[in-house]
Amino acid sequence: MNSSSAVEDGILYLRLSGDLIGSPDSQQILQIVNEYLGEAIRFCAIDLSAVRFINSTGIGVLVSVLTKFRNQGGELVLIKPSEQLQKLLLITKLNAIFTIAADEASAAEHLKAAN
């Protein structure tokens, strides 16, 4: 898995690609999130459009990141998850706790409204 991160207008954007299936990828994502939370970033948007496959460990990472931001009074938005991931979120009923956006602009709009 590959990842990149950037902060724009107080929002952490994580862009993931490849397969999100566990260590060391999970640890890398959590480390990035912890660094930005230490800098008082409260909002995050994770671009999943290039993620091919995700397993239960990957889902666990997404839930952990969501929890970390919400514990800081913030919010997380998933951007354009694949059809496979959308089905997985529906089956696990996690679609009820994650906000899903079609693109970065929609994600930013939602996060700014949550502020």
Quick check: is 78 in a domain? yes
How many C-beta atoms surround the C-beta of residue 4 within 10 A? 11
Quick check: is 106 in a domain? yes
Query: What is the C-alpha to C-alpha distance for residues 40 and 114, in angstroms, rounded to an integer?
Result: 16
Segments of the chain with pLDDT less than 50: none
Tell me: the pLDDT tens digits for 72-105? Answer: 999 999 999 988 899 999 999 999 999 999 999 9
Quick check: is 44 in a domain? yes
pLDDT at 25: 81
> Tokens at residue 107, please?
């994600």
Looking at the 3D structure of the chain, how many domains does it have?
A: 1
Residue 73 structural domain: 2-110
pTM for the model stands at 0.94
Quick check: is 26 in a domain? yes
Q: CATH no. for residue 60?
A: 3.30.750.24
Quick check: is 103 in a domain? yes
